[in-house]
Structure 1
Amino acid sequence: MSDVLSLSAEPRSNHGKGPARALRRAGKVPAIIYGPGGEPEMCALVFNELRKVAGRRSFFNQIVSLDFGDGRKVRVLPREAQYHPVTSDPLHVDFYRASADATVVVEVPVVFLNEANSPGLKVGGTLNIVRRAIEVHAPADAIPDHIEVDLTGREIGDTVHISEVTLPQGVKPTITDRDFTVCSIVPPTVAPEA
């Protein structure tokens, strides 16, 4: 489970291109908070704090505590961000309110373990990754960092379905109508000799 990340925030009242550009010149990034528990709320984040974390792969499946400095803290989940096309600096972030008992939908990256213990990979098979991330329903306080798929004993032709993957407690895939494939081990492709 990811730790709660803390970012400094301040309320803002002006919206539109002009005020957003003025905020960016002042070293801030415009953001909005929406979701259950209140009306949409505009705020501004400190650019340097946000830039350090917004590029991480785990940023969008981690609870963030926005500290408004007056004792008020809002628990949110990053949902979308806009980045500068050249510098990749964050330009705007959308946050979704996430109370401690809420269930959220997030994409969790898949990590493949024990490739050296797979007989199929040892003899030249190739790991065919079908899903690098799996969308799941997870408790807001227990979002997993990653989902592990163990390849121990897997032979060429073996397929790993979601039903064979051990998910953390309280975590369920959003796709429930089929037993979808996460990865498979396929035979090596060899070009015919001339």
Structure 2
Amino acid sequence: MAQCLRGKGGAAAVEEALRKAVPWRRAASASYHHTIQAVPRETTGPRAAARERRNGHVPAVLLTLAGAGPGEGVAHRKLLTTDRKQLSEMLKQSPYFLSTPVRLQVRAGERSTAVVHSGTVLPIKVHTDESTGNILNLVMVQADEGTMIKVNLPVVFKGEDVCPGLKKGGFLQKIRTSLVYLCPAEHIPPKIEVDLTNLDIGDRVLMNDIPVHPSLKLLSRNETMPVCKLLASKPVE
């Protein structure tokens, strides 16, 4: 096989052969960064997971929720295998990977083109190796339209360059870096933006001050807790 692919056009032929052999390892494209490619996985346990990782794969789990409430549990778990290289690229492309619904396409096998499952999912956990940075496991939840999902959304502060209080020499105390909402799958925002444009020294932004889609429900015992404060100076440690 290798001998017949040498010479003019050999590199392109090898790439084409690899693409056909393993459908998820195709040339980078827009869909490559927005559709997780996977195959079913039957074996579990540390040894099986280690074998998957040695082969450049990432063990993954797809959860289907039992109901619409935040604590109603999981109805079904589907074991999958995903490609580490593709997931690494997706993480680089999306700073809000864990709050952005993406497409999932499950093929019958590693060398199969038959699709056995497809739909929208939300990645909720990515475990990585602290020493190497390699992805160890991925957990996703089914995110079809109408599904209510508990999502930990990152808080992003905007308008710092024009904030009146900061221009006066004030200090922005960031109290919360994320907020938890119960969201319909079709209305999950990648982030929660806190606008500092009109804040002066002494002002604060409370959780319930932040405008979000009306279908989102803030999951907090005290919605009047501050997300940030604008202080006259940096507090003493």
8 Å contact from structure 2 (residues 208, 223) kept in 1: no
Over residues 136-186 of structure 1, what are the superposed CA-to-partner deviations in whole Å (9 max), with x where a residue is unaligned? 122212211222222223221111112322113422211154311011110
Matching residue within 40, 44, 47 for 1:11: 40
| CA 1:15–1:189: 2 relative to 1, 3 Å | closer
Give 1:29 shift. 0.9
| CA 1:80–1:153: 2 relative to 1, 3 Å | closer
* 1:89 alignment partner in structure 2: 134
Give 1:33 shift. 1.6
Q: Distance in 2 between matches of 1:105 and 1:155?
A: 33
Give 1:187 shift. 0.9
| CA 1:125–1:92: 2 relative to 1, 3 Å | same
Matching residue within 141, 144, 162 for 1:99: 144
* 1:125 alignment partner in structure 2: 170
Over residues 65-99 of structure 1, what are the superposed CA-to-partner deviations in whole Å (9 max), with x where a residue is unaligned? 22113232143222222211211111111222222
Q: Distance in 2 between matches of 1:123 and 1:67?
A: 52
The one-letter code of the counterpart of 1:85 is: E
Structure 1: which 5+ residue stretches go unaligned?
none
Give the structure-1-normalised TM-score: 0.86
Comparing 118-127 with 32-41, greater Cα deviation is found at: 32-41
The runs of at least 4 aligned residues of structure 1 exceeding 6 Å deviation read none
| CA 1:41–1:122: 2 relative to 1, 3 Å | same
Comparing 73-82 with 9-18, greater Cα deviation is found at: 73-82
Higher relative contact order (CA 8 A, sep 6+): 1
| Identity across matched positions, percent | 28
Report 1:8-87 matches (<5 A). 8-36=37-65, 39-54=76-91, 56-69=94-107, 70-71=114-115, 72-87=117-132
Pairwise CA RMSD: 2.4
Q: Distance in 2 between matches of 1:77 and 1:190?
A: 38
Q: Distance in 2 between matches of 1:190 and 1:12?
A: 52
Q: Distance in 1 between matches of 2:217 and 2:56?
A: 40
* 1:113 alignment partner in structure 2: 158
8 Å contact from structure 1 (residues 54, 90) kept in 2: no
Q: Distance in 2 between matches of 1:88 and 1:46?
A: 15
SS at 1:107 equivalent: strand
8 Å contact from structure 1 (residues 113, 151) kept in 2: yes
* 2:111 alignment partner in structure 1: none
Q: Distance in 2 between matches of 1:147 and 1:117?
A: 19
The one-letter code of the counterpart of 1:164 is: D
8 Å contact from structure 1 (residues 9, 68) kept in 2: yes
SS at 2:52 equivalent: helix
Give the structure-2-normalised TM-score: 0.71
| CA 1:16–1:141: 2 relative to 1, 3 Å | same
8 Å contact from structure 1 (residues 102, 139) kept in 2: yes
Report 1:148-159 matches (<5 A). 148-159=193-204
The count of aligned residue pairs is 189
Structure 2: which 5+ residue stretches go unaligned?
1-30, 67-74, 108-113
